[in-house]
Amino acid sequence: MKTIALIAHDGKKTNMVAFVKDHLDAIRKFRVVATGTTGQYIEQAGIPVTKMETGPRGGDAQIAAMIVKKEIDAIIFLRDPLGIHPHEPDIFMLLRLADVHNIPLATNESSARILIRGLTP
């Protein structure tokens, strides 16, 4: 079973829940990992989730480490480009490692829909 990481900035968490609900059948075909608070929201949508720490407490770095260990197959990271994020270095590290390790990465809902369609039969 492939593993997908789901991450959302605070201003995008409701968007992530809506995305998950709209794509429940596809998401259920993955093992899901998420940063802490995003994971709590996804669990409420009925999806089992392995939760890392929250982003500011190192969750982005934990998922980045999973990328390096080849434990992540795809990432949906709904970013808030207008927000200020104190853990920006961890975010950039995660994005950079996704590129270094050639991991499919969606950073908005449109690209997330394409990613999910491309990964599910």
C-alpha distances out from residue 75 to 19, 44, Å: 14, 20
Active site residue 60: yes
* CA nearest neighbour of 60 among 47, 74, 77: 77
- The catalytic residue among 10, 22, 25, 60 is 60
Strand order across the beta sheet in which 50-51 lies: 50-51, 31-34, 3-8, 74-78, 105-106
Strands 105-106 and 31-34: unpaired
Strands (E), the chain: 3-8, 31-34, 50-51, 74-78, 105-106
How far apart are the C-alpha atoms of 93 and 102, rounded to whole Å?
14
Catalytic amino acids? 60
